[in-house]
Amino acid sequence: MSVLAVLEQRGGQWQRMSFETLAAAQQIAEELGTTASAAVLGHGIEALANELAAKRLDKVYALDHELLKEYTPDAFTQALAAHIKLLDPTIVLFPHTYQVRDFLPKLATRLGRVAVSDVIGHRVENGKLTLVRQLFQGKVNADVRFAGDGPHFASLQAGAYRADRVVDGSATVGAVTPALSPADIRTRPGEPFRESQRAVDLSAAELIVSVGRGIKEADNIPLIEKLAKALGAELAASRPICDAGWLPMERQVGSSGQTVAPKLYMAVGISGAIQHLVGMKGARTVVAINKDADAPIFEVADYGIVGDLFQVVPALIEALKK
Ligand SMILES: Cc1cc2nc3c(=O)[nH]c(=O)nc-3n(C[C@H](O)[C@H](O)[C@H](O)COP(=O)(O)OP(=O)(O)OC[C@H]3O[C@@H](n4cnc5c(N)ncnc54)[C@H](O)[C@@H]3O)c2cc1C
């Protein structure tokens, strides 16, 4: 039994979720009583492979080829399929990035396997691995077990594992040159999409007041702005608020928004969906205001106020002003 983590880089820079996947691979391997290895694909990736060699891993594989410099689903699938066939790992883990979503189903299908996507956690019982993934937009958690022999494929949701849990150690690096030729690749990568520069950097904010759908309508947003101002905090929001255009996208916190780690995160009228939690669970202190005592946000809150925000927030502003 063995675990392989396939990590992502672009232009010599790690994709930030790569080390979350590495941490997961180390944890799962340990619980299964086995070892984890890691693979990285690209061209001129010695420095990245050497960085991995300082982690607790059995082996690091650097799949280096000119045709892996830019991502294409054909080249990545071909290189990985051949490598995985040779290595025969039991579990192969990936970060659930846009790139992985693009090629993982193709890779799994090529090897006659299924891929479990967007995993948020795992358990090992009697030497058997159970993965947890969400259904119905996070309303239900489903346990998934693999049947038969590996390799089994899974991608891990952003924030599900903590990158700072990666354990140091030492590993040997194996340089692999995949057999690839330009004729194998049917697409030609264009100019990569670049996000526009963000005007607001919430990741550096020490105090954040974040507003969710509990605010009911755009006209009520100034109430939360007042609270943020009284605290000297940055204003943030859950996705529906930004989707509705009530606040700009750059203020969205969560898996498809910014990841923040302030000293104080005040969640006002936010239910605490997993996609929101992954963006803010690194906050040192979480305060939640919600009228529903069973809202999941209270599970991560250090302080909770069960009440109507339209009563609680004005009272808080008054108290802060005093
Ligand atoms: C692929 C994907 C990516 C996603 N990315 C993100 C992301 O990056 N960030 C994100 O936030 N979401 C994201 N989501 C959406 C996420 O699943 C939730 O739908 C969203 O976080 C819910 O936002 P909310 O908590 O504001 O709204 P709701 O879930 O509707 O919660 C509103 C809360 O307000 C409370 N409330 C209502 N009225 C009051 C009142 N008067 N006083 C006090 N409390 C009140 C309610 O009890 C409820 O708990 C994503 C979803 C998917 C599928």
- Residue of 275, 294, 308 to test ligand 1 pocket, by largest number of atoms within 8 Å of CB: 275
94 occurs within a structural domain:
yes
CA 252 vs CA 66, 243, 245, 255, 279: distances in Å: 37, 9, 11, 9, 9
CA of 304 to the centre of ligand 1 (A): 17
CA of 293 to the centre of ligand 1 (A): 15
Does the Cβ of 255 fall within 6 Å of ligand 1? yes
240 occurs within a structural domain:
yes
Same domain as 223, residue 120: no
Residue 198 has pLDDT above 70, yes or no: no
CA of 243 to the centre of ligand 1 (A): 11
Same domain as 51, residue 15: yes
Residue 196 has pLDDT above 70, yes or no: no
Same domain as 251, residue 126: no
Whole-structure pTM value = 0.74
Please name which of 120, 194, 122, 130 lies closest in space to residue 158, comparing C-alpha atoms: 120
pLDDT in tens, 41-70: 999 999 999 999 999 999 999 999 999 999
> Which residue's CA is minimally distant from atom 19 of ligand 1?
273
> Which residue's CA is minimally distant from atom 30 of ligand 1?
213
Cα–Cα distance, 163 to 32 (Å, whole number)? 20
126 occurs within a structural domain:
yes
Same domain as 180, residue 260: no
Same domain as 213, residue 65: no
- For residue 158, name the pLDDT band (cuts at 50, 70, 90): confident
Domain with 103 in it: 3-184
Residue 182 has pLDDT above 70, yes or no: yes
Average pLDDT in the chain: 94
Same domain as 70, residue 26: yes
193 occurs within a structural domain:
no
> Which residue's CA is minimally distant from atom 49 of ligand 1?
271
Residue type, 38: A
Average pLDDT over residues 169-180: 97
